[in-house]
Amino acid sequence: MENEPKQIKMSEALALGALVFAKNFSAPAGEKELENLAPNWFIKTENPENERGAALLKTAAEAKDKAALAAAIKADFEAFAPKFELDSYGYIGEKKVEAFYEKIKFKKPFATLRASHASNMLALLAVIFRQDKDEATHNALGMWLADFVLPSAFLLARDLAKDAKSEYYMALGEFMADYFKHIKSALGLRAEFE
């Protein structure tokens, strides 16, 4: 039917989610981007983080003063910049991430950012989700998540949800926590985080 909403595969939705987070951790959203901010998140789950994130995103999208919101987002971005370096949480090391990239021939899309920066690590996650069509890639996905991304990204999500000042970054924190909880459950990962 022509008027039915287009369904996307879960792997595509998860890849898109990783890219949304990666973009927002590489540069703060500006006024122009905020003018087109959708009031709804594109991934719906039953997790409480998804519900809280949806309420925060709606508040951000409906903000009348986009300049003030952009300023608050920029302040959050600057305050969280050290935490966007996921090796700051102590679970991974920059050299280990660089060695993994070299092994799989991954070129950092955010070339000016470190290998362990959340933007580069989430960009690789998006690539793996898009290519997850066989056992080897699925195993790489599990290893990348368990050995590199979790729990550092989950801790970043919790910090954003708890400590950000703008509804925008608080929403991203809630959605990111929900995102990783969903992935852990869907893939049956044993990685512990909370």
What percentage of the chain exceeds 90 in pLDDT? 79
pLDDT tens digits for range 64-96: 999 999 999 999 999 999 999 999 999 999 999
Q: Give the pLDDT score at 81.
A: 98
Q: Give the pLDDT score at 193.
A: 55
Q: Give the pLDDT score at 180.
A: 94
pTM of the model: 0.91
CA 101 to chain centre: 19
pLDDT tens digits for range 97-134: 999 999 999 999 999 999 999 999 999 999 999 998 88
pLDDT tens digits for range 127-170: 999 998 888 888 888 889 988 999 899 999 999 999 999 999 99
| Of residues 2 and 57, more confidently modeled | 57
In this predicted structure, the answer to whether residue 32 has a pLDDT above a threshold of 90 is yes
Q: Give the pLDDT score at 29.
A: 96
Q: State the burial class of residue 39 (Cβ atoms within 10 Å of its Cβ: 0-12, 13-18, 19+).
A: exposed
Q: Give the pLDDT score at 153.
A: 95
Q: Give the pLDDT score at 194.
A: 56
Q: With the CA atoms of 93, 194, 109 and 100 taken in that order, what torsion angle do they form, in degrees rounded to the nearest 10?
A: 40
